[in-house]
Structures are given as structure tokens and as C-alpha cells.
Amino acid sequence: MKKLVAALLAIIPAFSIAQNKSDEPDLQMIARIKQEEFSNSKVMETLFQLTDVNGPRLTGSPGMRHAQIWLRQQFQDWGLANAAIEPWGSFGKGWQVDKCYVAMTAPYYQPLIAVPRAWTPGTNGLIKADAISVKIDDAEDMEKYKGKLAGKIVVFEPPVNTATKSNFVADAKRLTEEDLEKMDVDPHLDDEVDNPSKPDLKNTREARIALMKKRDSFLLAERPLAVLTIGSGGSMGTVFTTNGARWELDAKPVLPGLEVSREHINRIVRLLDAGKQVSLELETKTTFFYDSIENNVVAEIPGTDKNLKSELVMLGGHMDSWHAATGTTDNGTGSAVAIEAIRILKALDVKPRRTIRVVLWSGEEQGLLGSHGYVKNHFGEKDSMKFKPEYEKVSAYFNLDNGAGKIRGIYLQGNDMARPIFESWMEPFRDMGATTVTIRNTGGTDHLSFDEIGIPGFQFIQDPLDYGTRTHHTNMDSYDRVNSNDLKQASIIMATFVYQAAMRDEKIPRKPMVVKKK
């Protein structure tokens, strides 16, 4: 089948031919966009403000509030219209880290690399206690620890597959031509699609969450002083910080908890397994916030065509982050590129036919909450499929949220009708490394909130760099991990796609809605 498809594609005229004249790339405007970005770029300054100056931006935290206030003012200073901090709905508890100190004091002194587990309480002062190694793989394991944990610091044994090994593969990479060619194949032609032997990831995740809830309740009843766990991955001092406690207002209480680097928690467990006494001291301070209303930041360049100005072309990325670092590549970079794209267009004083609206989301890390709330408030609901008048006015939404790498293409999200349009718009950027328009879907970020109700929502393909190995949800997600040329390239491409969509005669075509049978 793959060979047949390849043969057919070889004889079919290239899809990069535009459908109509309004889909031809505006080369003069692209030249102006490039000149503005290469001569007057503000993208790294914006990133610096969001990250180094502001700090972490966990949803519901003061850091997120401060970033939103700063951004609204920046939009106003640039002359964008309707700049606002717009509520999307309720959330739960905000939270921030005020202090974190962790060290091993016996058999010798050693500071430990650790980060408080999100939405856990502080220790109420410095605590000193012996460590006890605990391994709980199922509910039955809890019985053997009853009555043994009070007054101790629990150290959870890492899974057997977390032993630290030398890494002979580079942490960072760029996509090769071969990688991009593989992306450009319809996934339905893959031999392993719909393979019944694949694990049920949803059920696996739900089972893991259920076990964690039971484990937290058990530990609370047994009264240890604190709990140390390994993060969800990482080595060489990198701590992944995704396993937070629950943030709902009615969430059950938990013990003070920290996620510790792989090398340090493995050392503690090895010592305990050898019968050595391990003593620890630690102090964490955290603060909870109970204002449950959360917001996105919006701004616009109004449309000028009397027939099209009520229609929308949207762009954005999520501005919230995790708390272990400054959330630079997840997703300060995507936010900075979206902000820079609309800054470029405003600086060029473009007169778009449609209104261009940028939105920077919160709550993405907790389940796309900010974009879901925005879509529900403005356009309609997925469950009822009842739509508001503004629903028909949206042409497309363009998103960036996969690290700091430059753009290499775009996911069509199954929208075949957009292929010739996007291939035409992508063509001028071949010399900048952007070549691929793939039918594939990609998940995990805010374009899905639009796509799931039938509004064309797109995510760009990016070079991974060290996103998956070093920066995604880690204590290493800092400004230092960013290449300014990659962000400039991404800003140019996003500004171009948004401008072209705002100027074309018709909205971006919508793919047929899929109604799943129950």
C-alpha cells in the first residue's frame, strides 16, 4: 500500500500549487516581516520578561498573575486593540514555592537536588529524621508498612527501569530530512495503527492515578513527616516535576512532598538497602491561594474589510508553566513567538481584512483548561455541540507549544483541504528549514480545544532540541536553553501564516465533523 501511494503521489501534480490567487504567498509582505524581525526583534526581550524577570507561572499563582498584568500593558503600549485579561472560569487552588532546602546529614552531609511536589504543603519548619525506603506497586503493598512510618521521612524506591546509565545519544537534536519524510506519511498507512496489542494508555493512566490517591491517603494516616519521590524521568541532576497533587478546592490533604533527582534518590535507597542509617533534614514553605477565577490575555488587530472584519484569525500559546524553573521552553518560547508575531504585524501597520486575535492561555498544564474555557465561552461546547454565533466567524487558530526549536512545518490535523493552501504558504521558507505539511494529528496542547468542535486548529512542527530530555517540565527549563535565531524564524513564519489567513478571500476550509458512535 505504501509503495502504491508513493507511486500515485509521483504522478499527481504538486499540491503546492495554490487553489486560487488569494492563496499565493505575499512575497512583498514576507520580505517586510523578515526585515522587521531581523532588524527590530523583541522576541528575546519578551522571553526574558516572561521568564527571568517574572519567574515560574503555575496556573493560579502570583507569578502567573504578574505575567498577565505585564503582558496586557505591553499589548497596550504597542497599540493593540482590546487588550484585556479575560476570565475563562474557575480553577481551584493556586500555589507557589516560598522556600526549599533538602540535605542528607548522615552518613555524611550532602545537599540534594529536589523540588517541592506541586500543591503540597510546607513542612512547618525544619524537620530532621531518618529515611525509610518504601516500595508500593499496588494496594496490597501498603499493609507491610502499617505502623512503621510515623516520624520518618519516606523515600520511595524508584522503579527498576530508572537506574542511571550513560547516554550515548545526544540530548538535543534537529529533525532530519528523513524524520520529516516519515512525518509526511498518512499514519493510517502505518502497519501498527489500530494494533490490538497496543496498551490501553487511558486505562493505565487512570489506574496509576487511582493508586496514587490510595497511597497518599495511606501515608497521611501513617503520619510520616515528608515524602520523597523520583520525578517522572531525567538524569544528570534534571528533575521532572509533573506529578503534582490535586489542585481542586475540595482535594484531600496530602503530606509535604518533594521530587528528587534520580542520582540522589538512588544513592539514598542504595545506602538503606545496605543497612546504613540515612538521616535527612529539610524545610519547605509553600503558599496556597483560593481565588478560583482564572484568566487568559487577549489583544487584537481589527479587521478592515467591511464584509470580513467580523471574522477572526487567531494565534497563541499557553503562558502557564510548572514551578521548578522559569518555564522557558514550556511554554515561554511559544508564547513569546505568538506575542512577537502580532507585534511584527502591528509594527508594520498591516490592514488585515479579518480581525487578528492573539490569546495567551492559562491552565494548559492542568488539561487545556484556559483554551477549553475560552472556546466554550465564545464558540460552543464539545459535549452538546451547540454553537454560538461567533463560531462561524473563526477562520483558523495557529498554536506553538513544543519547545524552543525552529518551525519545520505544520500538522494539518487531518484537514486535507488545507494542504494546498499551507504548502503554498510554506514554500518561501524552504531556505529557513520549514518544508513539511503533514496530514498527521498532534495532541497535548491548545489547538485541540478548537479542533474538537470543528474550528480549524493547527500546531506547528518544531525541532525538538533538548525539550524531551532536559527542559520539558524540569528544573532545567531556563532562558539559557534557547537559540534566538530559532525564535526569530518561528516568529516570521507564524506572522506570515496569520497574515495570509487574514487576507485570503475565504476562511480556511473546515474538515467534516466526526461524530463518534457510542
pLDDT in tens, 335-384: 999 999 999 999 999 999 999 999 999 999 999 999 999 999 999 998 88
Q: What average pLDDT does this structure show over 92-116?
A: 97
| pLDDT at residue 194 greater than cutoff 90 | no
What are the sequence ranges of the domains in the chain? 45-91+293-407+442-503, 94-289
H or E stretch at 495? helix 484-503
Q: What percent of the chain has pLDDT over 90?
A: 81
Residue 203 confidence class, pLDDT cut points 50, 70, 90? low
Q: Tens digit of pLDDT for each residue in 46-79?
A: 999 999 999 999 999 999 999 999 999 999 999 9
CA atoms within 13 A on the CB side of 275: 0
pLDDT of residue 232: 74
| pLDDT at residue 310 greater than cutoff 60 | yes
Q: What average pLDDT does this structure show over 241-245?
A: 85
Q: What average pLDDT does this structure show over 229-258?
A: 90
pLDDT of residue 393: 98
Q: What average pLDDT does this structure show over 4-18?
A: 43
pLDDT of residue 72: 98
* Residue whose grid cell is 518560547: 333
Reduce the secondary structure of 199-248 to three states and give it as a string: CCHHHHHHHHHHHHHHHHHHHHHHCCCEEEEECCCCCCCCCECCCCCCCC
Q: What average pLDDT does this structure show over 88-97?
A: 94
pLDDT of residue 204: 74
Residue 14 confidence class, pLDDT cut points 50, 70, 90? very low
Q: What average pLDDT does this structure show over 385-410?
A: 96
Give the separation between CA 75 and CA 81, rounded to whole angstroms. 8
pLDDT of residue 408: 98
Q: Cβ distance 300 to 357 under 8 Å?
A: yes
pLDDT of residue 19: 54
Q: What percent of the chain has pLDDT over 70?
A: 91
Q: What average pLDDT does this structure show over 212-238?
A: 90
pLDDT of residue 18: 44
pLDDT of residue 324: 96
Specify the pTM: 0.92
Q: Tell which CATH architecture fits domain 45-91+293-407+442-503.
A: 3-Layer(aba) Sandwich (3.40)
At the top level of CATH, the class of 94-289 is alpha beta
Q: Cβ distance 479 to 380 under 8 Å?
A: no
Report the relative pairing of strands 110-111 and 94-106 from DSSP bridges: antiparallel
pLDDT of residue 161: 56
| pLDDT at residue 423 greater than cutoff 80 | yes
The end-to-end CA distance of the chain, in Å, is 31
What does the longest C-alpha to C-alpha distance in the chain come to? 79
Give the separation between CA 17 and CA 119, rounded to whole angstroms. 52
pLDDT of residue 10: 44
Residue 135 confidence class, pLDDT cut points 50, 70, 90? very high
Q: Tens digit of pLDDT for each residue in 143-165?
A: 999 999 999 999 999 876 555 67
Between the alpha carbon of residue 2 and those of residues 8, 414, 436, the distances in Å are 10, 18, 18
Give the separation between CA 400 and CA 173, rounded to whole angstroms. 19
Which range, 165-179, 243-257, 409-423, has the best average confidence (pLDDT)? 409-423
Angle at which helix 333-347 crosses helix 27-40, to 10 degrees, equals 110
Residue 11 confidence class, pLDDT cut points 50, 70, 90? very low
Same fold, 45-91+293-407+442-503 and 94-289: no
Q: Cβ distance 368 to 449 under 8 Å?
A: yes
Report the relative pairing of strands 257-260 and 226-230 from DSSP bridges: parallel
* pLDDT, averaged across the chain: 91
Residue 291 confidence class, pLDDT cut points 50, 70, 90? confident
| C-alpha cell at position 460 | 506547528
| pLDDT at residue 129 greater than cutoff 90 | yes
Poorest-confidence range of 31-45, 114-128, 173-187, 407-421? 173-187
pLDDT of residue 235: 86
Task: Tell me the H-state helices in 43-176.
Answer: 43-48, 62-77
What phi, psi does 203 have (nearest 5°)?
-65, -35
| pLDDT at residue 326 greater than cutoff 90 | yes
